[in-house]
Amino acid sequence: MQVVSLSFFRFPRGVSRLWAFAMMGLARPAMRRTKGIGFWKLCGSGTGEGFTPLPETGVYAILATWPDLDCAQRQTRDAPVYRRYNGRATESWTLFLSPISARGAWSRQTPFEVGDTTPGPGPVAALTRATLRMSTLWRFWHRVPDISAAIGADPSVVFKVGIGEVPLLHQVTFSIWPDSASMARFARADGPHARAIRAVREGDWFREELYARFHILGASGHWPGGPSLTPAGPMQ
């Protein structure tokens, strides 16, 4: 069963942040050499509720796929590139995820292999990723404050973050919800999010897009504001 890891790292001001920024390019050879790794992406992050065009210079993320949970846990702990990130970071947190639905592409690849599609009890995660068309940048980012405010105000969402590979152009949103029903209610409710989705469809804003949902298998490390998770269990 494929397992997806999403690791977050927070770096102190100064040299460590410069190091983390440089690793967006320099870490690529080490990522490719990591045993067992499949699809992977190095990402920066945005500020605010959800995501914004303003970068958060102290937070970076690594998304990767692995053949199983044991490999994912071992390599995100022991692989040299992850050890370097953990050694520099003041805080780190890794989520282990199992895809339950996925459609679309990321860098012309289909990265996630869907296993058990049964929603089941307990927390679920949502990931959306898009490459924006240059001609639609202003229209897209003009809607972002309302969408971010709606996500931040929703009492159900327990964790949300915006990450991306290239500022403004390549955007990823990731959120955790207590169950699939609460996530579905937000997605279907009439509001800024629903209106933005309609505009995207009608205006063909994206060159590439991907939507995925996950079971949460567990987590390691600690992150301020992040929920305490137990494998295949409820939020603590």
Taking only the tens place, the pLDDT of each residue in 15-53 is: 999 999 999 999 999 999 999 999 999 999 987 655 566
Tell me the pLDDT tens digit for each residue of 126-183. Answer: 998 877 665 555 556 555 555 555 555 556 777 888 888 876 566 788 989 888 888 8
The more confidently predicted of residues 55 and 144 is 55
Is it the case that residue 113 has pLDDT exceeding 60? Answer: yes
Range with top average pLDDT, 65-79, 102-116, 146-160: 65-79
d(Cα 132, Cα 171) in Å, to the nearest integer?
8
78-101 mean pLDDT:
97
Determine which of 75-84, 153-162, 174-183, 199-208 has the lowest per-residue pLDDT on average.
199-208
106-110 mean pLDDT:
92
d(Cα 187, Cα 66) in Å, to the nearest integer?
29
d(Cα 144, Cα 118) in Å, to the nearest integer?
32
d(Cα 106, Cα 102) in Å, to the nearest integer?
11
Q: Which helix (H) or strand (E) holds 129?
A: strand 124-132
Q: What angle do CA 68, 29, 26 make, to 5 degrees?
A: 120
Is it the case that residue 120 has pLDDT exceeding 90? Answer: no
Q: DSSP letter string over the chain?
A: --EEEEEEEE--TTHHHHHHHHHHHHTHHHHHHSTT--SEEEEEEE-SSS--SSEEEEEEEEEEEESSHHHHHHHHHHSHHHHHHHHH-SEEEEEEEEEEEEEE-BTTB-----------SS-EEEEEEEEE-GGGHHHHHHHHHHHHHHHHH-SS--EEEEEEEETTTEEEEEEEESSHHHHHHHHHSSSHHHHHHHHHHHHT-EEEEEEEEEEEEEEEE--TTPPP--TTS---
Q: pLDDT band for position 69 (50/70/90)?
A: very high
Q: Could you tell me how far CA 10 lies from the centroid of its own chain?
A: 15
Asked whether the beta carbons of 211 and 108 are under 8 A apart, the reply is no
Q: pLDDT band for position 5 (50/70/90)?
A: very high
For the chain, percent of residues with pLDDT exceeding 70:
70
CA-based Rg of the chain, rounded to a whole angstrom? 17
Q: pLDDT band for position 197 (50/70/90)?
A: low
Three-class DSSP category at 93: strand
pTM: 0.84
